[in-house]
């Protein structure tokens, strides 16, 4: 897409009820669990999804991650991840607002 | 050529076969045909120990199955313990025995997901194949599962007698609100192997059904995710055995034997370890059974020097044994196997025109299991 719809930073993403998000020490990673399946998340994906608790807006998540990763150049990556996580059904948005 | 590592991975998936008791009698059941000889089921406390040891090894997905796991009155306690340990718990059930009371108790215990089996989209064939009158019950159970907010996988084993109903089976999954539909073509082990002549679909049937599934996928998108697994026999390359023997899966049988796959119990010369004699860590890491087909040291040619060995890891050991008599042979599904003709004989051989009529199905019953056991142990004259 040349001009993706801007992601609404005022809405609240959270892990969809079909999925369970947890830390797995044996894999040294966060994972998403779902019926008979699992996705092992890389560090960045894990740090984004652990903040998708329905209490932080997308804007607040991005601000928090800028601090965590000590970088101002992460906005586009986080937005792209949230978009694809939404397409995959991992994440849903409160107030019916989707990016 | 790079050698494959011999080391054990993390057993992410544990399947707990809680019992071989089952109210259904499906002629394609993956349980061993000699299940009648298994008498002594693990106790609640033994399962608690097994669950804790599996979790400590890194297991995270737990399949609670059987037989029918609801035949165990302690199922709710086992789910609660598994949940406490951090497992994602999958109940794999026929639905028989799942009433409002047990459903609520399972929810409170922390059950994550229910996989409900149907044998067909029609009452007549569902009830014929399971030798029960359970079709209407299964539909009521599906409503119950959704009313309690569980994600639901509908599972239907596919074979010659129902493969032409794939469209209606998908419609049924949509109607009952399943998130996933598993259309699993029969793999021919155990009971299904006894009934292979009646159950193996024709190539035409298979191709038609694949087109139907592709059409539905396009139309319905993500509303229902359809997993369609075709029978190995029509492939020219084998599948990995359970993602690799002893790499990801372990199955604990009702009597505590630990197996790398559901069907491994029938393999000769493999001394399956038991949780009653050793810890799961000893079994997973050190037992000869789990190490037997790790890596590539065991592989014969053409596997050993094959560039594709890292993909399929030599294929399925049970299929190799059933079709060649040698558990260490290249899976004959592979068209590089010197014994691939065994597979061609099966798929191109003569078929009964009216499968279940010319030759009756052997249903999975304790009586049939005992009879087969007696036949197998009869001394030769």
Q: CATH number for the domain including A25?
A: 1.10.10.1150
Alpha carbon of A71: minimum distance to chain B alpha carbons (Å): 34
Decide if A3 is inside a domain.
no
Name chain A contacts of B153, Cβ cutoff 8 Å: 35-36
Alpha carbon of B49: minimum distance to chain A alpha carbons (Å): 19
Q: What is the per-residue pLDDT across B83-104, written as a single tens digit (0 to 9) for each? A: 999 999 999 999 999 999 999 9
- Residue A60's domain comprises 16-86
Mean pLDDT, residues B190-219 taken together: 94
Decide if A62 is inside a domain.
yes
CB proximity A38 to B under 8 Å: yes
Cβ of B10 within 8 Å of Cβ of A34? The answer is: no
Cβ of A35 within 8 Å of Cβ of B60? The answer is: no
CB proximity A23 to B under 8 Å: no
Cβ of A35 within 8 Å of Cβ of B12? The answer is: no
Q: What is the per-residue pLDDT across B56-84, written as a single tens digit (0 to 9) for each? A: 999 999 999 999 999 999 999 999 999 99
Of A17, A33, A89, the CB nearest to B88: A33
- According to the model, what pLDDT value does residue B379 have? 57
Confidence band of A72 (pLDDT split at 50, 70, 90): confident
Q: What is the per-residue pLDDT across B14-48, written as a single tens digit (0 to 9) for each? A: 999 999 999 999 999 999 999 999 989 999 999 99
Decide if A99 is inside a domain.
no
Name chain B contacts of A22, Cβ cutoff 8 Å: 86
pTM over 0.90: yes
- According to the model, what pLDDT value does residue A2 have? 40
Higher pLDDT among residues A3 and B137, named by residue: B137
Decide if A8 is inside a domain.
no
Percent pLDDT > 90 in chain B is 86
Cβ of A18 within 8 Å of Cβ of B179? The answer is: yes
- According to the model, what pLDDT value does residue A98 have? 55
Decide if A91 is inside a domain.
no
Cβ of B113 within 8 Å of Cβ of A31? The answer is: no
Q: What is the per-residue pLDDT across B287-339, written as a single tens digit (0 to 9) for each? A: 999 999 999 999 999 999 999 999 999 999 999 999 999 999 999 999 999 99
Of B10, B115, B222, the CB nearest to A89: B222
Of B10, B86, B222, the CB nearest to A22: B86
In three state form, how does the secondary structure of chain B look? CCCCCCCCCCCCEEEEECCCCCCCCCCCCCCCCCHHHCCCCCCHHHHHHHHHHHHHHCCCEEEEECCCHHHCCCHHHHHHHHHHHCCEEEEEECCCCCCHHHHHHHHHHCCCEEEEEECCCCHHHHHHHHCCCCHHHHHHHHHHHHHCCCCEEEEEEECCCCHHHHHHHHHHHHHHCCCEEEEEECCCCHHHHHCHHHHCCCHHHHHHHHHHHHHHHHHHHHHCEEEEECCHHHCCCCCCCCCCCCCCEEEECCCCEEECCCCHHHCCCCCCCECCCCCHHHHHHHCHHHHCCCCCCCCCCCCCCCCCHHHHCCCCHHHHHHHHCCCCCCCCCCCCCCCHHHHHHHHHCCCCCCHHHHCCCCCCCHHHHHHHHHHHHCCCC
Q: Give the chain B residue whose CA is nearest to the CA of A88.
A: B222
Decide if A38 is inside a domain.
yes
- According to the model, what pLDDT value does residue A96 have? 52
Q: Give the chain B residue whose CA is nearest to the CA of A27.
A: B58
Structural domain tally of chain A?
1
- According to the model, what pLDDT value does residue A97 have? 53
Cβ of B58 within 8 Å of Cβ of A31? The answer is: no
Mean pLDDT, residues B156-180 taken together: 97
Decide if A77 is inside a domain.
yes
Decide if A46 is inside a domain.
yes
């Amino acid at each position: 897409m040349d001009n993706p719809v801007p992601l609404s930073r005022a809405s609240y993403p959270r892990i969809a009820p079909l999925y369970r998000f947890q830390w797995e020490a044996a894999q040294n990673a966060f994972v998403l669990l779902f019926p008979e399946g699992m996705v092992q998340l890389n560090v960045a994906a894990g740090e984004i999804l652990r903040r998708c608790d329905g209490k932080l807006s997308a804007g607040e998540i991005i601000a928090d991650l800028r601090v965590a990763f000590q970088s101002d150049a992460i906005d586009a990556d986080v937005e792209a991840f949230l978009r694809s996580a939404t397409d995959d059904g991992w994440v849903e948005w409160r107030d019916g607002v989707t990016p | 050529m790079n050698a494959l590592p011999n080391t054990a991975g993390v057993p992410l998936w544990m399947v707990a076969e809680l019992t071989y008791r089952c109210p259904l009698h499906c002629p394609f059941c993956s349980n061993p045909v000699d299940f009648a000889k298994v008498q002594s089921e693990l106790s609640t406390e033994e399962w608690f120990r097994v669950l804790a040891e599996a979790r400590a090894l890194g297991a995270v997905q737990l399949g609670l199955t059987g037989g029918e796991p609801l035949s165990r009155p302690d199922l709710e306690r086992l789910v609660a313990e598994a949940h406490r340990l951090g497992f994602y718990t999958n109940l794999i059930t026929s639905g028989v025995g799942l009433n409002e009371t047990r459903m609520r108790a399972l929810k409170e215990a922390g059950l994550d997901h229910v996989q409900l089996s149907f044998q067909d989209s029609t009452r007549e064939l569902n009830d014929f194949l399971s030798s029960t009158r359970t079709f209407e019950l299964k539909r009521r159970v599906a409503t119950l599962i959704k009313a309690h907010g569980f994600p639901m996988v509908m599972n239907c084993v596919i074979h010659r007698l129902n493969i032409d109903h794939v469209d209606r089976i998908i419609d049924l999954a949509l109607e009952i609100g399943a998130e996933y539909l598993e259309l699993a073509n029969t793999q021919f082990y155990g009971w299904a192997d006894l009934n292979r002549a009646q159950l193996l679909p024709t190539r035409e049937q298979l191709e038609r059904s694949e087109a139907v599934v592709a059409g539905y996928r396009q139309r319905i998108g993500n509303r229902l995710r359809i997993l369609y697994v075709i029978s190995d026999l029509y492939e020219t390359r084998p599948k990995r055995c359970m993602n690799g023997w002893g790499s990801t899966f372990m199955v604990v049988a009702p009597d505590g034997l630990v197996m790398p796959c559901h069907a491994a119990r029938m393999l000769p010369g493999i001394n399956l370890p038991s949780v009653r004699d050793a810890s799961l860590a000893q079994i997973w890491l050190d037992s000869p059974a789990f190490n037997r087909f790790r890596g590539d040291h065991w592989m014969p040619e053409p596997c050993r020097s094959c560039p594709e060995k890292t993909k399929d890891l030599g294929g399925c050991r049970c299929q190799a044994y059933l079709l060649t008599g040698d558990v260490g042979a290249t899976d004959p599904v592979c068209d590089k196997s010197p014994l691939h003709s065994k597979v061609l004989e099966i798929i191109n051989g003569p078929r009964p025109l009216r499968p279940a009529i010319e030759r009756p199905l052997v249903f999975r019953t304790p009586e049939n299991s005992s009879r087969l056991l007696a036949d197998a142990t009869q001394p030769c004259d």
